[in-house]
Structure formats: structure tokens, C-alpha cells
Structure 1
Amino acid sequence: MRLCSIASGSSGNCIYVGSDTTHLLVDVGISGKRTKEGLEKLGVKPEELDGIFITHEHNDHINGLGVMARKYGIPVYGTRGTLQAIKETSSVGQIDESLFQEIEADTKITVKDMVLNPMRISHDAAEPVAYRICHGKQKLGIITDLGCYNDYTVECLKGMNALLMEANHDVNMLQVGPYPYYLKKRILGDRGHLSNELCGRLLSRILNDNLQTIILGHLSKENNLPELAYEAVRVEIAMADNEYKINDFPIRVASRSEVSEMVVIA
């Protein structure tokens, strides 16, 4: 199974997951043109996509969805609340009703040789989810846009071989930054976004011997830096009360504007 961030950040998110026979996107928050170019760098044609799985309806996750779905006839998967919100978003445009495929949290769905299991997350959207994806015994999790986590979150993410997880902001940068108070309050709230420190603490609870790669994603352009996110997460792992050390797992930061290195899960 392969994982690659085509784009990840507060300005747009698009993640590729694939096998030899199956090609999926999680979110299309960048333009259709950028999505196509990113896929082609991976050796995948847009018409080869078997599905687009949407986490929620915010623009940085669906910006290119209308173009991609209409042009290539790609099935669009999302919860009932998410699909309804997409249909009410005028900037997406009309999508053929037959392309919409409704899913439910904690109910598995199979697309060719991949099994996807959506999980509930806490975010200020209609019915948001994150995704756990399995290919045989290989398991990965893509989890962004959650203001907080709980035991359910931890249980869902146990035993993963690869993780792409949100490290959205540095709390101090956000607090002293230019955002208006209401927006700072939203981001810091339980239905906002994970800080670097919270990302590290969540990771510390789900580290396991089979974890091969950690990717930090959905970084804020205004309220974070890749170096800050990387170091803050490493510090939390180092301070955690478990058997693992910071160098036991490779940690990388997904680029906002460039296609990241492909991760191949052994």
C-alpha cells in the first residue's frame, strides 16, 4: 500500500492512497489542475481513480471536487451530513447524483482490494470523519481537523503501520498572531484543530512496534512552521510515559504546496 500527500495544509488538502490495482484520494481541497498534476507525478491518471473520500465539507477539503468528479466520473464518498453540505456548496457546482456514495462512521466499506473504515472526529462541520484504510494486513490512518481526541480516537488508531496526522498550529504563534479573537477561539476549541503538542500526545498513545511512518499534516500557514511542528511532536514523544524513543519512528512533515515523497508500507 502506498501513501502520498499531494497537498496538506490550511489552504488545501489532497492525499493519495493506492495499491497496484486501486487508486483513491482522501479530499480534493486544491484545484482540479493541481490535483491532476500531482497524480501524474505519482504515475496515476485521474481517470484511474476508484473513488474520492471526503472528510468534511470545508473548502480546503473540497475545492477541486466538482471539477474532478464531473470530468472523470469519480465516485464521491462521504457521510450523509457531509454529502448534503457539499450539495449546498455553490462553488462546487452540480455533481451527478449517481456519483455520491453515502458512508457511515464505524461501518467498513470495500473498494476493490482496500477496506476503509471511517471514524468520528470532533470538528465544526456537518458530519466529519477521519479514515482508517487497510490493504491486507497493512493499515494506515489519515486523521486531520479534530479539536480534541478521546479514548475512542486512541482505540481507533491502534496498530497502524502509517499515520498522517494533523499538527495544525503552535499555540503561542496563534495566540499572538493576526487572527481575530473569534477565529483563535474556534481553532483552539474542542471542535477546531490539533496543536503540535496535542498531536504529539495523541501519537504517544498509539505508537506501536509495527508503525513505519508518521507524517505531520494540515499545518497552518500563519500559525505554524514545519520545524516547530517536527520538534514539538518529538518533545512530546520523548516526554511520554512509554517504551519508545523519539528516534524509533521516522517523522516527516507534509508540504503545503509540493507533492511529498511516496511512502510505501512494507
Structure 2
Amino acid sequence: MKFCPLYSGSSGNSIFFGEGEDKILIDAGLPGKRIDIAMSEIEEDTSNIKGIFITHEHSDHIKGVGVLSRKYDIPIYANELTWKAMYGKIGKIKDENIKTITKPVEIGNILVEPFKTSHDAADSCGYIIHSGNRKTGIVTDLGILTEDIHNKIKDCEIILLECNHDVEMLKFGPYPYVLKKRILSDFGHISNEACAEGILKIFNGDKKHIYLGHLSKTNNHPDLAYKTVEVILESQGIKIGQDINLIMTNRDKISKVINL
């Protein structure tokens, strides 16, 4: 299997997952051309994508999905409320490429399982991708990491987990009060500290590859996010590089590719 966050951040998100000939994207929140470029950089072709799975309707997750679907005849998968919220934003889509998720979806040898997240969207979700005996978790855009989510992702070998903001940077930063309150709420985004605490709760002794993703451009910094998580984990006896492979995602370019 092959996994790579093509882009991850508050300005756009798209994630590649492949198992042999079965290849999907989670979200397409940048112009289609930029996603094409990122795909070529990991030696993949967007025309081989068999489905794009949408987490929610915010523009940093759907900006390029309509273009890619029309250009390459790719089905788009989303739950009913997300389809209603995004349909008028992505242009005309072929009827046969409008796929409403009501249960886990099989794409060849991949099983894509949605789960609910707490975010200020119509019906936001994360995804567990099952491939053989391996599980990969996509967990971004959520205000809280619930016990149900912990149980969903604790057995995942690869996890992309939101690490959105530093609380002090957000509190004393330029955002208006209403936006700060929304981000800090149970329907906003999780902080660097909350991300680390979530990792502690799901760590079960098995080696995990954990990407820190969806960083705020204004209220975070990659070095700060990484160090905050690293310090909290190591204070609890978890060894970075040995117990957990901690990987920082990139906002404007591809992140590390994992092949297993």
C-alpha cells in the first residue's frame, strides 16, 4: 500500500491512498491542476483514481473535486447532508458519479469506512481505510476526539491526525473573537496539545506512523506543533522514532510517502 498527504493545511487538503491498482483520494481542496502536479510528484496519475471521498463541504476540502471528476470521470463519495451542502459549489457532476455514502464502500481491495466527527459542517466525517490486514485513519477537522473515534483509530498503523493550532497563538492572534471561539469549541479544531493527548489515548504498544496535519497558517508553526507533541509523548515514555514515527505534513507540497 502507498499513502501520501499531497497537501495538508488550512489552505487546502488532499490525501492519496493506493493498494495495487486501487487508488483513491480523500478530499480535493485545491485546484485540480495542483493536485495533478502533486500526483505526478509521487509517480501517480490522477486518471487512475477510482473515487474521491469527501470529509465535509468546506472549500479547503472540495475546491478541486468537481474539476477532477469532470476531467477524469471520477466518482465522488460523500454522505447525504454533505452532498446537499456542497452540490452547488462544485459545478455539474454526472449523475453516475454522485455517490451517496450510507455504509462502508468497497473500491476493489480497499474498504473505506466513514465515521462522524465534531465540526461546524453539515455532517463532517473522517475515514478508516482497510486494505488487507492494515488500517489507515484520516482524522482532521474536529473539535474533540471522542472515545468512539479513539476506538476507531487505535488499531490503525497509519494515522493523519489534526494538529491545528497553538492555543496561545490563537488567543493572542489576529482572528476576531467569534472565530477564535468557534475554533476552540467542540465543533472547531483540535490544538497541538489535544492532538498529543489523543495519541496517548490510542497508543497500544504497536508501532504507528502518525502524520500531524491540517495546521493553521496563522495560529501554528510546523516546528512548534512537532515539538509540542514530541515533548508530551516523550514525557509519558513514548519514544519518537521507535514507538511512533511522527511525521509533519506540508501545506504547499507533498509530504513523506509511506510504502508498506
Q: TM-score band, normalised by the shorter chain?
A: over 0.9
Counterpart Cα distance in 2 of 1:22 and 1:208: 29
Counterpart Cα distance in 2 of 1:261 and 1:244: 22
Give the structure 2 partner of residue 244 of structure 1.
238
Counterpart Cα distance in 2 of 1:46 and 1:21: 12
Counterpart residue type for residue 57 of structure 1: E
Is 1:257 the counterpart of 2:257 in the alignment?
no
Give the structure 2 partner of residue 53 of structure 1.
53
Number of equivalent positions? 259
Cα deviation for residue 200 of structure 1 reads 0.5
Contact map agreement 1:114 1:135 (CA 8 A) in 2: yes
Aligned positions of 1:160-199 closer than 5 A:
160-199=156-195
Q: 1:124 aligns with which of 120, 123, 130?
A: 120
Contact map agreement 2:247 2:256 (CA 8 A) in 1: no
Give the structure 2 partner of residue 148 of structure 1.
144
Counterpart Cα distance in 2 of 1:83 and 1:70: 16
Cα deviation for residue 244 of structure 1 reads 3.4
Percent of aligned pairs with the same amino acid? 41
Give the structure 1 partner of residue 83 of structure 2.
83
State the Cα deviation string for residues 104-136 of structure 1 (Å, max 9, x = none).
Answer: 3xx322110101111110000011110000110
Counterpart Cα distance in 2 of 1:71 and 1:253: 31
Cα deviation for residue 80 of structure 1 reads 0.6
Q: 1:96 aligns with which of 75, 94, 97?
A: 94
Counterpart Cα distance in 1 of 2:2 and 2:10: 23
Counterpart residue type for residue 19 of structure 1: E
Unaligned runs of 5+ in 1: none
Counterpart Cα distance in 2 of 1:178 and 1:54: 30
Counterpart Cα distance in 1 of 2:148 and 2:208: 22
SS at match of 2:86: helix
Counterpart residue type for residue 220 of structure 1: S
Give the alignment's TM-score, normalised by structure 2: 0.96
SS at match of 2:44: coil
Aligned alpha-carbon RMSD (Å): 1.2
Counterpart Cα distance in 1 of 2:113 and 2:213: 20
Give the structure 1 partner of residue 13 of structure 2.
13
SS at match of 1:186: helix
Counterpart Cα distance in 2 of 1:254 and 1:195: 15
Counterpart Cα distance in 2 of 1:80 and 1:19: 27
Contact map agreement 1:160 1:210 (CA 8 A) in 2: no
Give the structure 2 partner of residue 207 of structure 1.
203
SS at match of 2:70: helix
Contact map agreement 2:75 2:98 (CA 8 A) in 1: yes
Counterpart Cα distance in 2 of 1:72 and 1:146: 31
Counterpart Cα distance in 2 of 1:212 and 1:128: 25
Contact map agreement 1:159 1:211 (CA 8 A) in 2: no
Aligned positions of 1:18-33 closer than 5 A:
18-33=18-33
Q: 1:135 aligns with which of 111, 116, 131?
A: 131
State the Cα deviation string for residues 44-88 of structure 1 (Å, max 9, x = none).
Answer: 111110000000000000010111011111000011111111113
Cα deviation for residue 212 of structure 1 reads 3.1
